[in-house]
Structure 1
Amino acid sequence: MTRQVLDNSTQSEIQALCKEEASPFNVVAALCYDLFMCVQKENPHFNVLMILDSPRTILKYRIKPFKGGEVSFLIVDRKTFEKDVASDWLGGLLVENMLTPYDPIINKDLLWEKEVQAKKRLITEDLDNLVLEYPEISQELLIKPEYFMFEAMARKASLYPPVMYKFLKVFETGSKTENLVRMMNGFDAALKILAKEGCIKQSDGFIKIMARHIDSVRRRKRALLIFKSARNLFLRHSLEVFPKMVLSLLEDYGRYVEYFRDPESLKMIRLPELEETKKHIFISTPLGLVSLSEKISIEDFVKKAFPENRDSKVDLEKLGGALNAVYSLKIHRFGREQKIVVKVFKDWYGWKWFPLKLWAFGTRGFSVLGKSRLEREYANNLYLSKNGCNVPLIIHVSPKERLIFQEFIDGESLSNIIKKLYSSRQIEPDLIEKVKQVGGEIAKVHRLNLALGDCKPENIIVGPDGKIWFLDLEQAEKGGDQAWDLAELLFYSGHYGFLSSADFAQKVTKAFVNGYLEAGGSVENVKKARSPRYIKVFSFFTPPHILLAISSVCGKINVKLETNIK
């Protein structure tokens, strides 16, 4: 059986029918859609979308006999058609016929212009949704152009299942490649326009969302919905105003029921391209690109990262973390041990999350969803690394499993250094210098307009070479509360000096604040750090005399602070 075609003779006859049906109005444009769904037969059926130059609103559905078969006319005025192109005014009912392959009958140039305009809008909506869904890593996403086509189809199918029949026909083996190429032409043209407008960047076969577009989405006050109830919108207009339009939907539904007559057959039908559209979106890691749909376990990671050492001994040891599961992955090979840190980003909920929420109630908000925290860890790690700050190298990411694999940083935690200072009977110059260096590195981060969010001393490592490393970035935030970073590090560290004198706590604080200010840290941040709203958070475990000593140092920054090491 051969597919139905629109030969020159047939096209001319349909053009004549269009003009006859349009009278007394002129036909602005017309197209024949869904030809790829039909086979050549004695009683052919053609579907035509016809746009009229009418001063009044028109939306109707007509069926006319034709060559022993029939022609179905979907007739609309130009203004209504253009509103559907621009904003899905009819739920995309009209635009949907330009998403899949069609044959222009009248005014090919105008139809192409409107197809590109409609597909540009669909792409823009997808870009907006990606910014909202992946706010922290949207600028790092590498998107294949075909993602936008598959996402548009998946969205239509999820809102109106009968359209799945049409998409199944698009993906039939014999015509799949031709159909996809024809569909992508409009998307490619729209992407070029968006690139010229500065919304995206095209490079090496991928699309990247530009910061300009990301910022514009974030500035919008109105909420953007990831999925629009397009068919509901259409039904609201059509059932109230144009009852005959229901015939169009009934045709879709009839084909759907006929194709899936057996309910069990629905379970057998799969369209992999539409089931997981995120497989066309990637992020970069040292092991290569990782799709957002990738689901890799720790065992799979070892096989991928060390394919030549399948017999190597692998040990997994939990490092701790009340809210996150953090593991040390040890791979023994070539007589050496290599350590990799694996972070599992679980959702915080219930009683596990309650103590943290209670502790910082009214002072600090926390990102609690595992997906959001993984994004922040990845995005902030890349941002700090690109700007010369020391952070662990992210080796691989498993978005579906919410895993990040990163290098193990050897060294001493700042918490151990401060414990040594408070437990010693006198200030040790080398230790107090490390505290000062940490202050300088935090200032460097703050100058990048980033707040670390979780600035406890155990999240900061001083390496054997003196480099300062920041380990935990899942709560870090651009434009975040930098004063909280200082308050958390200073007042939290104060509980290590429970039995120490206030004078000793002042000297440690002076070292940190001097380092912070000398490296360009904000004086205002230091002043704000002594605010009662921060101090109250730490009053449960840091003694009052230590809190007062630290606060007094932060309040004297208008005069030069001397560490007074003796």
Structure 2
Amino acid sequence: MLLCMVGVGMLSSVERLLAEKGVEAGVEAVVYFPFRRPEYVVLLSRLRQGVKVLREPGLNVYLVDKSDFVDDVYNSSYAEVFAHRLLLPHTVVKGEELMQTLEKTYRRETVRQLLKDLVAAHKYAAVNLVAEPRYFLLEKVRRIVEAFPLLRSDFSNILLDERGFEEAASELVSEGLLNRVDGGYSPTLEAVKRFEKLSVLSGLEPLRHINLIKLSKLFSLLVFEATTNLSSQSPPLPDPEQHIHLRTSRGLQPLSKQLDIMEFVHEYFGKEGHVKRVGGLFNSTYVIEVGSEKLFAKRYMSWTDVKWVAARIWTAWIKNFSINPSTRLAKEIYFLDFLRGHGFHTPEIIHVNWRDKILYTTYVEGETLLDAWLSKKPDRAVFADKVGQVLASVHRVGGRLGDCKPESFIKTSDGKIFITDVEQASFDGDPAWDLMELIFYPGHYLEADEAASLAEHVVKGYATVGDTGVIARCLKTSYVRTMSLWTPPWVVMEISDRVKRFLKA
């Protein structure tokens, strides 16, 4: 006899129906769902049809083969038509231990898949995201409803409980995939390394294993039956992106907040400002001026951006430049924060428009290393020494700037050296590439002797902090050859000779 204080009268009807069908002995779990038309889901040890519906006035009873239900929870074998019900308010009448295991498993694997998707979409920037437990619940619901619109009725007018997702996220903390931060959960660097190469559509992989024949029957019995619970006006479901945030220097920013440049100016300053495009032909960078205050905006162009396509072609087999704008934005967000966390000076992130790939940061007022040498500033040699030290220090903490040009180092009026433009940064690759680019690139603009002097001071500073083996490797023919279309050969030779003399000294 099944005992429960929930819906005693209805429960009697359920017991009678099970007895009439002769399946009472095979019942392993019974779950009650308080819908407008109440439902009981009964898991049987064996049911040849997979699923069967029994109807009583004002009541539906679904008989489900236990193995099919379990397979849907673990492998999405039935498109989660069974499993999604574990997200809904319910009462376990029988089989509490079994149902608790299935509920925990479903929530944990849901959080794991959503974590994979966050990393696949945001790459390194995922580390800067902070997701509330409610995000995992609402994002899962959103995906279910988008795939099966008729199931909207299951979730409308229901206060969903995210407490189970708090526990599920905590399990991934113990696995080293999430960190607890700011009242939510952030992907770890380990999670990024493990999942960043996955396709954004990796969550669709289980669909390959769906049993379409059985699923078609389930739709008629479970999904299309949901029309009985439809109300005339289903309220909109909450936006999951209101519950996931990006860390900025001004606090947590909802990921749903996507401001274009003029919207940004109006919201952050409350008045009109002046936006000026800066940089060369291939740059999409802007200085925003409102009164005496300045901010910097950078728009990451698509893969057709000639600059990165050309760079990737020319350095093929030597250096793998990132072309995808999402990847470049993600790296910029992550490495600005990473370097600042290790004591380096970098611009502070103010706002991120992920949809349009725009990053807003503080503006660094100062002089670049290249400008100091072009204008022959008296302290340019000291500036170059310090840049060499800064670069070596970046390498000591495991960073690689990737596209390391003298314009990326800015000295402010108080003598601080800021690192900017880190969209190609990574933890991979040879640090000698950074040093090679930094010392040979200026040769395009400077006379041979000046270019060689700059290079000598950079490597001198580098050697005080870093490995001289890196200095030797930066002269590798395969590396230096990539500069041949940029820096004249006689300048390349002068720089190489000066660095070799330094190494022999």
| TM-score normalized by the length of structure 2 | 0.88
Could you tell me how far 1:69 is from its partner in structure 2? 5.8
1:61 to 44, 51, 63: 51
Is the alpha carbon distance of 1:469 and 1:224 closer, same or farther for their aligned partners in structure 2, counting shifts above 3 Å?
Answer: closer
Equivalent residues of 1:491, 1:538 under 8 A apart: yes
Please state if 1:406 is matched with 2:361. yes
Q: Which of residues 482, 496, 501 is equivalent to 1:551?
A: 496
Matches within 5 A, 1:62-461: 62-66=52-56, 68=57, 71-77=60-66, 79-166=67-154, 170-172=155-157, 176-177=158-159, 180-181=160-161, 184-217=162-195, 225-228=201-204, 233-236=209-212, 238=214, 246=217, 248-249=219-220, 252-253=223-224, 255-256=226-227, 271-273=236-238, 276-307=239-270, 310=271, 314-332=273-291, 337-349=292-304, 351=306, 353-421=308-376, 430-461=379-410
Aligned residue identity for 1:547: V
Is 1:51 the counterpart of 2:14? The answer is no
Closer/same/farther in 2, CA of residues 474 and 253 from structure 1, 3 Å limit: same
Q: Of residues 485, 491, 494 in structure 2, which corresponds to 1:540?
A: 485
Which residue type is aligned with residue 288 of structure 1? G
Q: Secondary structure at the match of 2:256?
A: coil
Pairwise CA distance, 1:440: 0.6
Q: Quote the offset at 1:491 in angstroms.
A: 1.2
Q: 2:459 — aligned with what?
A: 513
Give, in whole Å, the separation in 2 of the partners of 1:108 and 1:70.
22
Cα-to-partner distance string for 1:228-286 (whole Å, 9 max, x where unaligned): 266664343626xxxxx6154355236559969xxxx9xx977352xx52232111223
Deviation at 1:215, TM superposition (A): 4.0
1:294–1:400 contact (8 Å) kept in structure 2: no
Identity of aligned residues (%): 25
Larger radius of gyration: 1
Q: Distance in 2 between matches of 1:26 and 1:190?
A: 31
Segments of 5+ residues of structure 1 without an aligned counterpart are 39-45, 240-244, 422-427, 561-566
1:10 correspondence with 2:10 = yes
| Residue type of the alignment partner of 2:394 | V
State the SS of the aligned residue for 2:123: coil
C-alpha offsets along residues 325-368 of structure 1, whole Å, 9 cap, x if unaligned?
21111111xxxx22222222222416565444444344333222
Provide closer, same or farther for how the CA distance between residues 234 and 161 of structure 1 changes in structure 2, counting only shifts above 3 A: farther
Q: Which amino acid aligns with 2:139?
A: E
| Separation (CA, whole Å) in 1 of partners of 2:229 and 2:11 | 29
8 Å contact from structure 1 (residues 61, 72) kept in 2: no
For each residue in 1:189-232, what CA deviation from the matched residue of structure 2 results, as whole angstroms up to 9, or x when unmatched?
A: 323433444443334431222344444445xx986844326666
User: Quick one: structure 1 residues 217 and 353, their matched pair in 2 at CA, closer, same or farther if it must change by over 3 Å?
Assistant: closer
Q: SS state of the match for residue 162, structure 1? A: helix
Distance 1:248 1:430, change over 3 A: closer
Per-residue deviation, residues 295-323 of structure 1 (Å, max 9, x unmatched): 1133332333234xx3xx62222112433
Query: What CA distance in whole angstroms lies between the structure 2 residues aligned with 1:65 and 1:385?
Result: 64
Q: What amino acid is the match of 1:455? A: C
What is the CA–CA distance in structure 2 between the aligned matches of 1:152 and 1:398, rounded to whole Å? 23
2:54–2:60 contact (8 Å) kept in structure 1: yes
Return closer, same or farther for 1:206/1:530 CA change in 2, 3 Å cut-off: same
Unaligned 5+ segments in structure 2 are none
Displacement, 1:82? 2.9
Offset from partner CA, 1:16-54 (integer Å, 9 cap, x none): 533654638532212134x3242xxxxxxx543322335
Counterpart of 1:171, as a letter, is: S
The answer (yes or no) to whether the contact 1:377–1:472 under 8 Å persists in 2 is yes
- Pick from 395, 419, 427 the counterpart of residue 478 of structure 1: 427
SS state at 1:227 partner: helix
Look up the equivalent residue of 1:246 and give its one-letter code: K
**Counterpart contact for 1:62–1:74, Cα < 8 Å:** yes
Deviations 1:72-112 (A, max 9, x none): 423213x4433332222333232122122223221234312
Alignment partners' CA distance in 2, 1:531 and 1:257: 72
Preserved CA contact (<8 Å) 1:159 1:230: no
SS in 2 for 1:339: strand
Q: 2:207 and 2:220 mapped to 1: Cα distance?
A: 10
Q: CA deviation at 1:385?
A: 0.8
- Aligned partner of residue 386 in structure 2, secondary structure: helix
Q: What CA distance in whole angstroms lies between the structure 2 residues aligned with 1:138 and 1:377? A: 12
- 8 Å Cα contact 2:456-2:502 kept in structure 1: no
Number of residue pairs the alignment of both structures matches: 501
